[in-house]
Amino acid sequence: MGAGIILGGGAIALWAFNGSKVQCGVASGDTDPCRSERKTGTAAIVTGGAALAALAGGFVVLAIDRGPTRLALSVHPSGFSFGGTF
């Protein structure tokens, strides 16, 4: 669930940066000193979807009681794996 909260914060930050001006510099004769703007809307939507999926997965793992369950999470350099009795 913590990963979902972090991803949610990232989605909010990406959404806030959407449309912000970049590559700005004052030059004579320019009406707009900024050359382009950030387009982060799609990244915010994808990150928000990942946040919802992580929160839902965390809820299923932590909150649903189906009897005596044991869950192990192994994290190693090449990835991670789950194991246990469900």
DSSP annotation of 21 reads E
Q: What is the pLDDT of residue 70?
A: 72
The pTM assigned to this predicted structure is 0.62
**pLDDT 10s per residue in the chain (86 long)?**
788 888 999 999 999 988 888 878 777 776 777 778 889 999 999 999 999 999 888 888 777 766 666 777 777 777 777 777 65
Coil vs helix vs strand at 28? coil
Instruction: Please provide the size of the chain in residues.
Output: 86
pLDDT the model gives residue 66: 66
- What is the extent of the structural domain holding 25? 2-85
Backbone angles phi, psi at 76, to 5 degrees: -145, 170
Based on its alpha-carbon atoms, the radius of gyration of the chain, rounded to whole angstroms, reads 21
- Domain count for the chain, please give it: 1
